[in-house]
Amino acid sequence: MEYFNARSLVISWVIGFVVAGFALSVKQKRTADQSCWGSSPWQNEIAIWNLGAIVMMVGVLWSKKDVESALLPGLFVLSLAFCINHVVALRRHRDRRYPTNIAAAVGNGVGVVAILVHIALQR
Protein backbone atom coordinates (compact mmCIF):
# COMPACT_ATOMS: atom_id res chain seq x y z
CA MET A 1 0.00 0.00 0.00
CA GLU A 2 1.60 3.19 -1.23
CA TYR A 3 0.00 5.36 1.48
CA PHE A 4 1.86 3.64 4.29
CA ASN A 5 5.38 3.83 2.94
CA ALA A 6 7.96 5.57 5.13
CA ARG A 7 8.22 8.62 2.84
CA SER A 8 4.45 9.25 2.89
CA LEU A 9 4.39 8.87 6.66
CA VAL A 10 7.21 11.39 7.14
CA ILE A 11 5.41 13.83 4.83
CA SER A 12 2.30 13.37 7.00
CA TRP A 13 4.31 14.26 10.10
CA VAL A 14 5.73 17.34 8.38
CA ILE A 15 2.16 18.48 7.71
CA GLY A 16 1.22 17.74 11.33
CA PHE A 17 4.18 19.72 12.65
CA VAL A 18 3.30 22.64 10.34
CA VAL A 19 -0.30 22.66 11.60
CA ALA A 20 0.79 22.41 15.24
CA GLY A 21 3.45 25.09 14.77
CA PHE A 22 0.90 27.42 13.15
CA ALA A 23 -1.58 26.78 15.97
CA LEU A 24 1.02 27.42 18.66
CA SER A 25 2.43 30.58 17.08
CA VAL A 26 0.06 32.42 14.75
CA LYS A 27 -3.14 31.16 16.44
CA GLN A 28 -1.58 31.00 19.91
CA LYS A 29 -4.39 32.67 21.89
CA ARG A 30 -7.17 30.66 20.30
CA THR A 31 -5.22 27.40 20.68
CA ALA A 32 -4.51 28.21 24.34
CA ASP A 33 -8.11 29.20 25.07
CA GLN A 34 -9.30 25.85 23.70
CA SER A 35 -6.81 23.71 25.63
CA CYS A 36 -6.82 22.30 29.15
CA TRP A 37 -3.66 24.19 29.97
CA GLY A 38 -4.44 27.72 28.78
CA SER A 39 -1.72 30.13 27.70
CA SER A 40 1.90 29.41 28.52
CA PRO A 41 5.35 30.61 27.43
CA TRP A 42 6.01 26.97 26.54
CA GLN A 43 3.84 27.42 23.46
CA ASN A 44 6.63 29.48 21.89
CA GLU A 45 9.20 26.82 22.77
CA ILE A 46 7.05 24.08 21.25
CA ALA A 47 6.48 26.14 18.09
CA ILE A 48 10.26 26.61 17.75
CA TRP A 49 10.78 22.88 18.33
CA ASN A 50 8.19 22.14 15.63
CA LEU A 51 10.08 24.37 13.20
CA GLY A 52 13.32 22.51 13.93
CA ALA A 53 11.61 19.14 13.45
CA ILE A 54 10.13 20.32 10.13
CA VAL A 55 13.54 21.44 8.87
CA MET A 56 15.13 18.10 9.85
CA MET A 57 12.39 16.02 8.23
CA VAL A 58 12.35 18.11 5.06
CA GLY A 59 16.14 17.74 4.91
CA VAL A 60 15.77 13.97 5.05
CA LEU A 61 13.06 14.05 2.36
CA TRP A 62 15.16 16.26 0.08
CA SER A 63 18.27 14.14 0.53
CA LYS A 64 16.76 11.40 -1.66
CA LYS A 65 18.80 8.84 0.30
CA ASP A 66 15.79 6.69 1.22
CA VAL A 67 16.37 6.96 4.96
CA GLU A 68 12.87 8.07 5.96
CA SER A 69 12.24 4.76 7.72
CA ALA A 70 14.98 5.69 10.22
CA LEU A 71 12.75 8.53 11.45
CA LEU A 72 9.71 6.34 12.14
CA PRO A 73 10.68 4.99 15.59
CA GLY A 74 11.23 8.53 16.87
CA LEU A 75 7.99 9.78 15.31
CA PHE A 76 6.16 6.82 16.83
CA VAL A 77 7.48 7.60 20.32
CA LEU A 78 6.70 11.32 19.97
CA SER A 79 3.15 10.68 18.76
CA LEU A 80 2.47 8.05 21.41
CA ALA A 81 3.76 10.36 24.17
CA PHE A 82 1.80 13.36 22.85
CA CYS A 83 -1.36 11.27 22.50
CA ILE A 84 -1.07 9.95 26.06
CA ASN A 85 -0.29 13.44 27.39
CA HIS A 86 -3.40 14.95 25.77
CA VAL A 87 -5.66 12.06 26.83
CA VAL A 88 -4.45 12.35 30.44
CA ALA A 89 -5.09 16.11 30.35
CA LEU A 90 -8.61 15.55 29.01
CA ARG A 91 -9.32 12.99 31.75
CA ARG A 92 -8.11 15.41 34.43
CA HIS A 93 -10.20 18.29 33.06
CA ARG A 94 -13.64 16.84 32.50
CA ASP A 95 -15.41 20.14 33.21
CA ARG A 96 -15.74 20.99 29.51
CA ARG A 97 -14.52 20.02 26.06
CA TYR A 98 -11.11 21.19 24.93
CA PRO A 99 -10.85 21.11 21.11
CA THR A 100 -7.08 21.65 21.11
CA ASN A 101 -6.43 18.60 23.29
CA ILE A 102 -9.01 16.47 21.46
CA ALA A 103 -7.50 17.30 18.06
CA ALA A 104 -3.97 16.64 19.32
CA ALA A 105 -4.94 13.33 20.95
CA VAL A 106 -6.74 12.14 17.82
CA GLY A 107 -4.08 13.36 15.39
CA ASN A 108 -1.26 11.73 17.32
CA GLY A 109 -3.31 8.56 17.85
CA VAL A 110 -3.84 8.31 14.10
CA GLY A 111 -0.09 8.68 13.64
CA VAL A 112 0.59 5.83 16.05
CA VAL A 113 -1.87 3.58 14.23
CA ALA A 114 -0.43 4.57 10.82
CA ILE A 115 3.05 3.49 11.86
CA LEU A 116 1.73 0.23 13.30
CA VAL A 117 -0.08 -0.44 10.00
CA HIS A 118 3.13 0.35 8.13
CA ILE A 119 5.05 -2.15 10.29
CA ALA A 120 2.36 -4.81 9.78
CA LEU A 121 2.45 -4.33 6.01
CA GLN A 122 6.23 -4.75 5.95
CA ARG A 123 6.01 -8.29 7.30
Whole-model pTM? Answer: 0.90
Q: Which of 71, 18, 11 is nearest to 47 (CA)?
A: 18
Query: Half-sphere exposure of 121 toward its Cβ, with a 13 Å CA cutoff?
Result: 12
What confidence score (pLDDT) does residue 1 get?
54
* Residue 51 CB contacts under 8 Å (≥ 6 apart), including other chains: 21
What pLDDT score does 42 carry? 85
Residue 107 in contact with residue 16, Cβ under 8 Å? yes
> So what's the pLDDT on residue 116?
95
For residue range 42-95, list pLDDT tens digits in order.
889 999 999 999 999 999 999 989 899 999 999 999 999 999 999 999 999 988
Q: Is the pLDDT of residue 123 over 90?
A: no
| Distance between CA atoms of residues 76 and 53, nearest Å | 14
- Is residue 4 scored above 90 in pLDDT? no
pLDDT at 83: 98
The interaxial angle of helices 6-25 and 99-122, nearest 10 deg, is 170
Average pLDDT of the chain, as a whole number? 93
pLDDT at 12 over 60: yes
Helix (H, G, I), strand (E, B) or coil at 85: helix
Average pLDDT estimate for 15-25: 95
Domain tally, the chain: 1
Residue 106, amino acid: V
Give percent above pLDDT 70 in the chain: 98
Q: Quote the domain boundaries for residue 49.
A: 2-122
